[in-house]
Amino acid sequence: MGSYYLAIDIGASSGRHILCHMEEGKLVLEEVHRFPNGMKEKDGELCWDFDALFTEIKAGLKKCKEIGKIPVSVGIDTWGVDFVLLDENEKVLGNTVGYRDSRTNGMDEEVYKIIPEDKLYARTGIQKAIFNTIYQLMAVKKSHPEYLEKAKTFLMVPDYFHYLLSGVKSNEYTEATTGQLIDPATKEWDLELIEMLGYPKDIFQPVKTPGTVLGDLTPEVQAEVGFNCKVVLPATHDTGSAVLAVPSNNPDTVYISSGTWSLMGVERMEADCSPKSKAHNFTNEGGYQYRFRYLKNIMGLWMIQSVKKELKEERGLDLSFAVICEEASKQTIPSIVDCNDERFLAPKNMIKEVQAACKESEQPVPETYGEIASVIYNSLAKCYGATIEEIQEMTGKKYDSISIVGGGANAEYLNELTAKYTGRTVFAGPTEATAIGNLMVQMMTNGELKDLASARDCVFDSFAVKTYKPEA
């Protein structure tokens, strides 16, 4: 048996520890621990429970010890934009507020008083999203300036967990770019911009790239989990990891990283920070080896996840995504909503919000869960269809296929609709793309995979990929 590697992939609704080793030239995955996640209200703010998450991180490491499969390295990936501020005693200042909290309402206008929106995009290449770190920090500055005064360290979520594991502070590049404070030319913090905004620039850490070895587990963690291993930075932004696992070396591949969010785009070596790119709301997120993920952030399966949760809480229906998907495929309701409308970001009730949007636009109002899901899936796929045309316009290239990776690769009905609305062949899989991308970086760092091209070939050989053809 070869070496083991451990990816800890923490999403907005759950996290998992996935071990990987090579067998006959293929990647073999094993889930050893899974745990729930989500934002909960605390002091009137939507917050993450990072203490509980770190307990789960250690619990998964202990399971590796229990089953006798000690990894040579571990790396963590999470969602983007969220962060902690640490004081001089390494304690977290304030609540660990999440990106769906309303504290950023109006903070865009505060930022634009200092730097106009078009100049900000030209400078960072990152699309406007009200929850970006740049606006969250402005919210802290306005409501809790004392936190910024006391702060000695700024760490984004995966940086914080890597620090707790290794004792080493760093800001990983792919995650940092989601904050809208990185210069895409230098690939470093835009300290001039940070200063303009009145954020303390000395709290930001050196920007490190995926593949950086932070060091060993701290003695405290070693004592608790029962072993030592290397802590290696993957692409810590989950989309950065997921895109690595797209099983194609064709440079002209459009991907959808499909999970809570749908991230649809292409890989490029240079950022496009033009006014036209801004008008189309494309973003240039940092990727592996300084590639850019030129993509559009689409609301994604968050809408379905919310509906699933509400069906259980309000109607006592505990349904799997597969059942919801199957029921949606039987419906004929023609209604379409704009799934990128901010009304769907954190509504009190997603079902009612979708119904209200249909009613307001004078379309048939979905009543059953099958109809509601059908409206969401069709709306998402239609959005994908419009987005691929925009990608073609912006890149000047034609794309004849789409690779869907992540949890959404399992959503058969959505994949069929995507082929239909885009008129392209859809390749779906692997579903564990984020964890696989995380593992690929660790294995390349250790020399077990040679480079990105051979790693992607290995992913293609190792996992099932399903094909969906557009209707003739």
CATH of the domain at 396: 3.30.420.40
How far, in Å, CA of 187 to CA of 45, rounded? 33
**Are 271 and 207 part of one and the same domain?**
no
**Are 205 and 162 part of one and the same domain?**
yes
Query: Is the pLDDT at 246 greater than 90, yes or no?
Result: yes
How far, in Å, CA of 168 to CA of 155, rounded? 11
Does residue 164 form part of some domain?
yes
Query: Is the pLDDT at 472 greater than 70, yes or no?
Result: no
Predicted confidence band at 106 (pLDDT cuts at 50, 70, 90)? very high
CB 94 within 8 A of CB 85: yes
Q: What is the pTM of this model?
A: 0.93
What is the crossing angle of helices 412-422 and 369-395, to 10°? 40
**Are 187 and 225 part of one and the same domain?**
yes
DSSP, collapsed to helix, strand or coil, labels residue 88 as coil
Q: Is 238 a residue of the active site?
A: yes
pLDDT in tens, 11-26: 988 999 999 999 999 9
Does residue 286 form part of some domain?
yes
User: Which residue type does 212 have?
Assistant: T
Q: Which of 198, 232, 266 is the last residue of a domain?
A: 232
> What is the total count of domains within the chain?
2
**Are 217 and 344 part of one and the same domain?**
no
Residue for token digits 């033009």? 274
- Catalytic entry in 238, 318, 338, 457: 238
How far, in Å, CA of 74 to CA of 179, rounded? 24
Q: In which element (H, E) is residue 341 found?
A: none
Render 362-417 in DSSP notation, one character per residue: T-PPP-SHHHHHHHHHHHHHHHHHHHHHHHHHHH-----EEEEESGGGG-HHHHHH
Does residue 206 form part of some domain?
yes
> What domain range is 393 assigned to?
248-429
The four Cα atoms 219, 224, 225, 228 give a dihedral, to 10 degrees, of 10
**Are 56 and 185 part of one and the same domain?**
yes
Q: What is the pLDDT of residue 157?
A: 98
Which residues contact residue 327 at a Cβ distance below 8 angstroms, ignoring those fewer than 6 apart?
368, 369, 370, 373
> Percent of the chain beyond pLDDT 70?
100
Does residue 456 form part of some domain?
no
Does residue 327 form part of some domain?
yes
Does residue 378 form part of some domain?
yes
**Are 119 and 257 part of one and the same domain?**
no
**Are 180 and 147 part of one and the same domain?**
yes
Does residue 170 form part of some domain?
yes
Predicted confidence band at 1 (pLDDT cuts at 50, 70, 90)? low
- Provide mean pLDDT across the span 251-276: 94
What is the crossing angle of helices 117-124 and 107-114, to 10°? 80
Does residue 290 form part of some domain?
yes
Query: Is the pLDDT at 367 greater than 90, yes or no?
Result: yes
**Are 222 and 316 part of one and the same domain?**
no
Predicted confidence band at 4 (pLDDT cuts at 50, 70, 90)? very high
**Are 196 and 144 part of one and the same domain?**
yes
pLDDT in tens, 198-207: 999 999 999 9
**Are 371 and 423 part of one and the same domain?**
yes
**Are 397 and 286 part of one and the same domain?**
yes
Q: Which of 232, 262, 280 is the last residue of a domain?
A: 232
pLDDT in tens, 130-185: 999 999 999 999 999 999 999 999 999 999 999 999 999 999 999 999 999 999 99
Task: At 96, list the tokens.
Answer: 């660990």
Q: Which of 204, 232, 260 is the last residue of a domain?
A: 232
Query: Is the pLDDT at 209 greater than 90, yes or no?
Result: yes
Mean pLDDT across the chain: 96
**Are 225 and 329 part of one and the same domain?**
no
- Provide mean pLDDT across the span 265-284: 96
pLDDT in tens, 307-325: 999 999 999 999 999 999 9
Q: What angle (nearest 5°) sits at the alpha carbon of residue 291, between those of residues 287 and 292? A: 75
pLDDT in tens, 20-51: 999 999 999 999 999 999 999 999 999 999 99
